[in-house]
Amino acid sequence: MENKTEKTANHLNERPGFHVWWRLLRPHTLTASFIPVFVGTMLAILDNSFRPLLFIAMLIAAMIIQAATNMFNEYYDYVRGLDNENSVGIGGTIVRDGVKPNVIKKLAFILYGIAALLGIYICFASNWWIAVIGLVCMLIGYLYTGGPIPIAYTPFGELFSGFLMGTVIIAISYYIQTLTITWQVLVISIPIAIFIGCILLANNIRDLDGDKENGRKTIAILLGHNKAIILLSSLMLTSYALTAAFIIGGLLPIYSIISLLSIPKAREAVRTFQENTTNVGMIPAMIATAKTNTFYGGLIGISLLLQILFPLTL
If we measure between CA atoms, which residue out of 219, 235, 78, 93 comes closest to residue 152? 219
- pLDDT > 80? residue 83: no
In whole numbers, what is the pLDDT of the chain averaged over residues?
89
CB 311 within 8 A of CB 50: no
pTM: 0.91
Let me know: does 46 contact 307? Beta carbons within 8 Å: yes
Coil vs helix vs strand at 305 = helix
pLDDT-derived band at 13, boundaries 50, 70, 90: low
DSSP category for residue 14 = -
Taking 60 as the threshold, does the pLDDT of residue 90 lie above it? no
Percent of the chain with pLDDT strictly greater than 90: 69
Over 90: is that where the pLDDT of 140 sits? yes
Of 59-63, 90-94, 243-247, 302-306, least confident by mean pLDDT is 90-94
Residue 110 pLDDT > 60: yes
Q: What pLDDT, on the 0 to 100 scale, is given for residue 1?
A: 36
The pLDDT value given to residue 10:
45
Q: Look at residue 246 and tell me whether its pLDDT is greater than 70.
A: yes
- Judged on CB neighbours under 10 Å (0-12, 13-18, 19+), 141 is buried
| Spatial separation of the C-alpha atoms in residues 105 and 152, rounded to whole Å | 17
**Contacts by 208-217, CB closer than 8 A, 24 or more apart:** 209/279, 210/82, 210/87, 210/279, 211/82, 214/80, 214/81, 214/82, 215/153, 216/152, 216/153, 217/153, 217/154, 217/155
CA distance 234 to 219: 14
Task: Report the distance separating Cα 260 and Cα 282, nearest Å.
Answer: 24
Task: Give the pLDDT confidence of 174-184 residue by residue, as tens digits.
Answer: 999 999 999 99
Q: Give the pLDDT score at 11.
A: 45
Amino acid at 73: N
**Mean pLDDT of the region 211-223:** 90
Percent of the chain with pLDDT over 70: 90
Residues 160/180, Cβ–Cβ less than 8 Å: no
pLDDT at residue 6 greater than cutoff 50 = no
Average pLDDT over residues 70-89: 76
**Mean pLDDT of the 145-171 span:** 92
For residue 8, pLDDT over 90 is answered with: no
**Average confidence (pLDDT) over 54-80:** 91
> How many C-beta atoms surround the C-beta of residue 156 within 10 A?
14
How many Å is the Cα radius of gyration of the chain? 19
What is the full DSSP assignment across 192-215? HHHHHHHHHHHHHHHTHHHHHHTT
Statement: residue 7 has pLDDT above 50: no
Q: What is the pLDDT of residues 183-204, one digit of tens each?
A: 999 999 999 999 999 999 999 9
- Identify the DSSP state of 93: T
Contact indicator for 54, 41 with CB cutoff of 8 Å: no
Task: Inform me whether the pLDDT recorded for 9 exceeds 70.
Answer: no
pLDDT at 93: 76
What pLDDT score does 214 carry?
80
- pLDDT value at position 5? 44
